[in-house]
Structure formats: C-alpha cells, structure tokens
Structure 1
Amino acid sequence: MRKVLNFVFLLLLFTSCQEPQPRRPIEVRSGSFLKTSAERNKRLLEQETTWMQELAQKDSLRTYQSSASGFMYAYEKRVPEAGALAAAGDLVTLTYDIRTWNEDTLYRREEIGILRYLVDKEELFPGMRYSVKLLKEGESATFLYPSSLGYGYHGNDDRIGPNTPLKCTLEIFKIEPETEN
C-alpha cells in the first residue's frame, strides 16, 4: 500500500510541475477595421484636397497659397512692413468666423468674439493653431481647411458635422511676445 501511495505521490508531483498554459482569446481581432479606416481617411483627404484646389482656382478675388500643413490661404489684408509672426507662448488677440466651403455660416465672428489665445498652450482646432502662426499683427486671411484639420470625423457636437471641410477668415489684432506676458 505504501508503495502505491508513493507512486501516486510521485505521479502527482511530476504532472503538477508543468508550465502554465496561456488562455487563448475568445475573439481574435485582425486589425482590418483600422486598415479600412485609414484607407477611407486617405481617400477622403485626397478628395478634399482636390476640391480645395478647385475652389481656390475658382475664386477670382483671391490668390491662394498652399501651406506646409495641408491647407490653403489667401490674404485679405496684408501688412507690407516687417513684423513678427506669433510663436509658441505669445499672447495673440484675434477673431475669426467659420463657414463651410459652400459659404454656409456655422459661426459668425460676433458669436466667437475677440479671443486672447496663448499660442500652442490653449486649444483651438488644428488648422487654426497653424494659421495663427502665419499672420502678423494687423493682417487677415481666408483659410480653406480639409476636415482633418477642422473638427475631423467627430465634428464639434453642435453645428459642425463629421468630416466637414471649413473656410475661416482670421484676423490678428495684436501679438504680445512671451516675454511681455
């Protein structure tokens, strides 16, 4: 009997000393949703870029320039003398409006009001953050943004819907360098 107990004990000892086996996931994700979404966003950006270029060519009142960030802009009022551009940390006093590319007004300048914006330290939608750094004090310009530089695939939960390309006119009143703040 003792031999049998010793054998059972040794058998249990050897079988219980195995490495733990990881559990297999219940659901296996292939990542196809992310790939599909990325492809859809690339197509949307290409389409919006083409529309933006066509819109800029049709506008006979303005001469649009392309920015390195992927939007286009045309000066409404330009200051010929040399002046400083806004940099990170500067306090900029500005106002702007938001329209669709079809000129439907989403937010009027009066609704937004005059803002005091601390460059790169406060939230504005991506395109506007880049635009503030392109204008000098006293200048204004009209900007055409693809939806990715506007409020993106989500919109703003109010008047700006998902994937809405935007047209904005921005005016810079004053730029106070960071050392003065």
Structure 2
Amino acid sequence: MKVKFLMLLTGLLMFSCKSPEARRPVTQKSGSYINEAVERNRKIVAEEEARIQTIIETDSTREYLSSPNGFWYYYNTKDTTSTKTPEFGDVVEFDYNLTTLDGRSIYSDEEIKPRTYAIDREQLFSGLRQGLKLMKEGETVTFLFPSHKAFGYYGDKNRIGSDVPVISTVTLIDISEESETNQENNN
C-alpha cells in the first residue's frame, strides 16, 4: 500500500510541475473588420464632403468659410464691431434649425425653440458646439455639417437617420459669462 501511494505521489509530482500554457482563442479575428469600417467611413466622409463642395461651388451669392474643425459656414448676419465670442463655461442662448443638404426640413426653429447651453459643459452635437464658439452675439450663421460633425452613425434616433449631413442656421441671441450666470442664480 505504501509503495502504491509513493508511486502515485511521485507520478503526480512529475506531471504537475509542468509550466502553465497559454490558452488559445477558439476563433481568431484579424483586424479586417476594423479596416473595413475605417474604409467605409472614409468613403462616407469623402462623398458627403463632395456633396457639400458642390453646394458651395454652385452658390455664388455667399462667401463660404471652412472651419478647421471639419465643416463649412457662411454669415447671414455678421457683427463686425464686437469681438466677444463664447468661451468655456459661458452660457449662450441660441435658436437654430436643421435641414438636409437638399433643403428638406428636419427640425424647424419653431420646433426646437431657443435654448440655452453652457459652452463645453453640456451635451450638444460636436459641429454645433464648435460652431457656436465662432459666433458673436446677434449673428446668424448657416453651417454645413458632414454627418460625423452632426449626429453620425446613430442619428438622433428620431428624425435623423444614420450618416446624414445637415445644414443648420443658427442665431446667437445672448452670451452670458459664467460668473454673471452664477451671480444671477445666487440672488
């Protein structure tokens, strides 16, 4: 009995001293899905930018400006005397609408109503957030946003579908500095 126990113990010790072996995944995925998604997105962006460039080239009545943030815009009403633009934390009141590139209304300014927004402290789609920072109080600007600067792949889960570029006419009604807004709330 002792001999069998010793042989069993010796056998266990010999085979249990094996170093751990890495487990391999059952299936291996390459980066092809990611590469395909990147290519698909590049194609979408190129098509949208080409459509926007066509709009710009056919409209000789306006001076379009290109934003370093990846969208285009023109001034409907421009303030040449003021220099104040919204900064981080400022609260702005603005009115806007959203249309497709071919001019169909998605949301009218009556549906959206003027809203307030604390610059970079609240949710707002990236193009509009960046566009508001370019504006001065009293100005009206029309922005042409590719879908990645608007609602992107997911849309707004209501009227705006996947990968829809939009045009938005925005009027900046008021800019309140952060400290002014806090003082008003404390009084």
Q: Give distance in 1, aligned partners of 2:34 and 2:132.
A: 32
- How big is each residue's C-alpha offset from its partner over 1:118-161, in whole Å with a ceiling of 9 and x where there is no partner? 00011111110000000000001110010110110111111111
Given that 1:83 and 1:137 are in contact with CA atoms closer than 8 Å, whether structure 2 keeps it comes out as no
Structure 2 residue aligned with 1:130: 130
Q: Give distance in 2, aligned partners of 1:157 and 1:171.
A: 25
Please give the secondary structure, in 2, of the residue aligned with 1:20.
coil
Give 5+ residue unaligned stretches, structure 2: 182-187
Percent same amino acid at aligned positions?
36
Give the alignment of 1:40-55 within 5 angstroms.
40-55=40-55
Q: After the TM superposition, which of the residue ranges 13-22 and 33-42 deviates more from structure 2?
A: 13-22
- Corresponding position: 1:31 with 2:31: yes
Aligned residues: 181
Q: After the TM superposition, which of the residue ranges 57-66 and 120-129 deviates more from structure 2?
A: 57-66
Given that 1:98 and 1:168 are in contact with CA atoms closer than 8 Å, whether structure 2 keeps it comes out as yes
Instruction: Provide the TM-score with structure 2 as the length reference.
Output: 0.92
Give 5+ residue unaligned stretches, structure 1: none
Q: Give distance in 2, aligned partners of 1:3 and 1:57.
A: 95
Instruction: Provide the TM-score with structure 1 as the length reference.
Output: 0.94
Deviation at 1:177, TM superposition (A): 1.2
Structure 2 residue aligned with 1:94: 94
Deviation at 1:85, TM superposition (A): 0.4
Structure 2 residue aligned with 1:57: 57
Q: After the TM superposition, which of the residue ranges 48-57 and 101-110 deviates more from structure 2?
A: 48-57
Given that 1:155 and 1:162 are in contact with CA atoms closer than 8 Å, whether structure 2 keeps it comes out as yes
